[in-house]
Amino acid sequence: MKQFQRTVEDFTCEQCGTFVTGNGYTNHCPNCLYSKHVDRFPGDRASTCGGLMKPIDVIVHAGEMVDVIQECQRCGHRHTNKLSDMDNREVLMQVMAEQAEKRAKGLV
């Protein structure tokens, strides 16, 4: 059913299987925060990599989680993705906890 013209991409998350309805602004899965490596620069869809981008860190600004940093599991490319209200806070807390643990162990 086509309602109106907009570049939105619906996709099924390859990491957790959630069906994601695109809103034109985000291409990551709100459930597990993974996305696919399709951009060389945000939004350009110029990358042919297609690897899964894993959430590896969260940027907190003024007590609010604002961005998630993702790293491609195939080529190691990193990028920052804006968080939306729909994103799973529990998963983000988990990502931050893991990152804090790695920092404490001197791994990053």
Binding region for Zn ion (CB under 5 A): 13, 15-16, 18, 29, 31-32, 37, 49, 51, 72, 74-75, 77
Asked if residue 33 lies in contact with residue 90, where contact means CB atoms within 8 angstroms, the answer is: no
Rounded least distance, CB 55 to Zn ion, Å: 10
Give whichever of 43 and 103 is closer to Zn ion, judged by the CB atom.
43
Rounded least distance, CB 82 to Zn ion, Å: 17
Query: DSSP strand E in 29-100: where?
Result: 35-36, 52-61, 64-72, 78-82
Give whichever of 4 and 41 is closer to Zn ion, judged by the CB atom.
41
Give whichever of 24 and 50 is closer to Zn ion, judged by the CB atom.
50
Calpha distance 54→9 (Å, rounded): 19
Rounded least distance, CB 81 to Zn ion, Å: 13
Calpha distance 80→39 (Å, rounded): 11
Alpha-carbon Rg for the chain, nearest whole angstrom, is 14
Give whichever of 16 and 96 is closer to Zn ion, judged by the CB atom.
16
